[in-house]
Amino acid sequence: MRAVRSPVVQIAALQAEIRRCTRCAALVRCRSCVVPGDGDAPARIAFVGIAPGRRGGDRTGIPFSGDRSGDLLRRMIARAGLESVFITNLVRCNPRDARGRNRDPRPREIANCREHLERELAIVRAHIIVCLGRLAWRELAGRGVEFAPGRACESKFRDAILYAMYHPAYINRGACSEREYLRAFRRLARLTAGTRVARELTDAAAPAMLT
């Protein structure tokens, strides 16, 4: 009989597999390394960004680490007291333009990497998926669903509640203050607590928390 592998073991195996991926020829040429999702498994919250940054994940191999966006995201997570967190991106290789600057991933690249994302999320089984930025939101919530940062959405991804948030790079460019950004993380912490209690009681997410 085959032994059931724990989520920690499953994520480690998936990370090793993803690190060998060569589906996007253009990204394989410019990446320094592949950056699979990383964190707790299972996790209550999964953060989904866009792509590893040239100065961050592409150098460290860990999503949202080693650059200003990563520092800000991890500082907000700590200050809001969020625990049980998994962090990943839509694509796992750094996309660059002809001048070597970060660019948005192309639809084909996002589609190529979608299977990796789906498999990570299936193992992690987060109660809440936080989409960092419009691109991540559009990919998981769908094009027709309004992007409202700091709010949860009535539609779900699999069983998880979707929560919209600005990408930390946007905050670093002055879109809103860190204090305002932290408020959105604190609302997320309250939503997480409510969802956890609801799951424990009814094994279902709490619709009343969707504000």
Q: Using CB under 6 A as the criterion, which residues of the chain lie in contact with ligand SF4 when the complex forms? A: 18, 21-24, 27-28, 34, 91-93, 109, 112-113, 116
Nearest to 89 by CA among 75, 71, 70: 70
**Cβ closer to ligand SF4: 22 or 202?**
22
CB of 94 to ligand SF4, least distance (A): 9
CB of 21 to ligand SF4, least distance (A): 3
Nearest to 95 by CA among 34, 33, 31: 31
CB of 106 to ligand SF4, least distance (A): 10
* Alpha carbon distance 195, 16 (integer Å): 32
45 within 8 A of 165, measured Cβ to Cβ: no
* Alpha carbon distance 173, 102 (integer Å): 15
**Cβ closer to ligand SF4: 111 or 145?**
111
Q: Cβ atoms within 10 A of the Cβ of 171, count?
A: 22
**Cβ closer to ligand SF4: 18 or 76?**
18
156 within 8 A of 142, measured Cβ to Cβ: no
**Cβ closer to ligand SF4: 89 or 195?**
89
